[in-house]
Chains A and B, each alone.
Chain A
């Protein structure tokens, strides 16, 4: 597996990229900045699995916590509301 580059508490930015294929990074979160909540482990890369490849080396997978007001312009809920999303390491940059 690839070594984890981030640890809980690190600020990260999701790549704003739109490659074709089977991508597990939801559109709405691309380009957003959040904080690593936990390392979930390492899993075969689903983008490769979808092409019948092994997906190895396994990619570290993180739960990233985003403030809703940073994700949706004009979010109308509470200021502390968050959304947590699982993001693979190769979709994250340090922020």
Chain B
């Protein structure tokens, strides 16, 4: 794909991927077009999708309710198909701050946030986020008073999680599109909070 530029020997896993792909194509199990379509589909999955869901929840309280009840079904309303996975949306409030981790591997709501950042998959984040979440959040620049409950979600099995952050003050009357621009990937993992015009 983007192989232009300097020659570098292939890594073990790159070689394995190419070999397996060529074998599957050669044996007629897959076509190159199918592989390309899948890669393209993966590229389309970016945090903007999640931001759209958040902005809708901020502007439509009935949607917000449906989203918290059944994340998968509510996303279908926005034309976002989340095949065979159950999405659980957890809501930040002045009393509760949520954060997501997968201690066992790197489960992540890819259909809404795209490819996970490397730190999400690191041993450091995965082990410390459950054990000392406040210290990890502080490293991301977030500090909470003791009375705010920190709720860590370990995606240890079949569900996937997304944080619904709090709508920043000073954004009254904003359009969904403008609001979506405030929502980044990290705020939907729970290691950041969206900043409004007053922040």
Q: Which residues of A contact B (CB under 8 A)?
A: 24-26, 28-29, 40-41, 43, 46, 61, 63, 68, 71-72, 76-88
For B131, what are the chain A residues with a Cβ–Cβ distance below 8 Å? 28, 72
Size bracket of the B interface: 20 to 34
For A43, A77, A85, the residue with the greatest tally of chain B CB atoms inside 10 Å of its CB is A77
B32 at the interface (CB under 8 A from A): no
A-B complex: 9 closest residue pairs judged by Cβ atoms: A86-B157, A78-B146, A80-B149, A77-B134, A81-B150, A83-B152, A85-B154, A24-B157, A43-B158
**Are A24 and B156 in contact, CB atoms less than 8 angstroms apart?**
yes
Residues A40 and B154 in contact in the complex (CB < 8 Å), given A78-B146, A78-B147, A81-B133: no
For A76, what are the chain B residues with a Cβ–Cβ distance below 8 Å? 132, 134
For A46, what are the chain B residues with a Cβ–Cβ distance below 8 Å? 157
B86 at the interface (CB under 8 A from A): yes
How many angstroms between the C-alpha atoms of A72 and B147 in the bound complex?
Answer: 19
**Are B103 and A78 in contact, CB atoms less than 8 angstroms apart?**
no
Residues A28 and B103 in contact in the complex (CB < 8 Å), given A41-B86, A63-B159, A82-B152: yes
Interface residues of B in 126-166 (CB under 8 A from A): 130-134, 144, 146-159
Q: Separation in Å of the A82 CB from the closest CB of chain B?
A: 5
Partner of B157 from A61, A68, A79, A80 at Cβ < 8 Å: A61
**Are A84 and B149 in contact, CB atoms less than 8 angstroms apart?**
no
Residues A26 and B156 in contact in the complex (CB < 8 Å), given A76-B132, A77-B132, A77-B134: yes
**Are A43 and B157 in contact, CB atoms less than 8 angstroms apart?**
yes
B25 at the interface (CB under 8 A from A): no
B42 at the interface (CB under 8 A from A): no
For B151, what are the chain A residues with a Cβ–Cβ distance below 8 Å? 81-84
**Are A26 and B150 in contact, CB atoms less than 8 angstroms apart?**
no
For A71, A83, A88, the residue with the greatest tally of chain B CB atoms inside 10 Å of its CB is A83
Residues A82 and B149 in contact in the complex (CB < 8 Å), given A26-B104, A28-B130, A77-B133: yes
**Are A25 and B149 in contact, CB atoms less than 8 angstroms apart?**
no
> Residue on A with the closest CB to B90?
A84
**Are A84 and B153 in contact, CB atoms less than 8 angstroms apart?**
yes
For B159, what are the chain A residues with a Cβ–Cβ distance below 8 Å? 40, 61, 63, 86
How many angstroms between the C-alpha atoms of A41 and B85 in the bound complex?
Answer: 11
**Are B150 and A40 in contact, CB atoms less than 8 angstroms apart?**
no
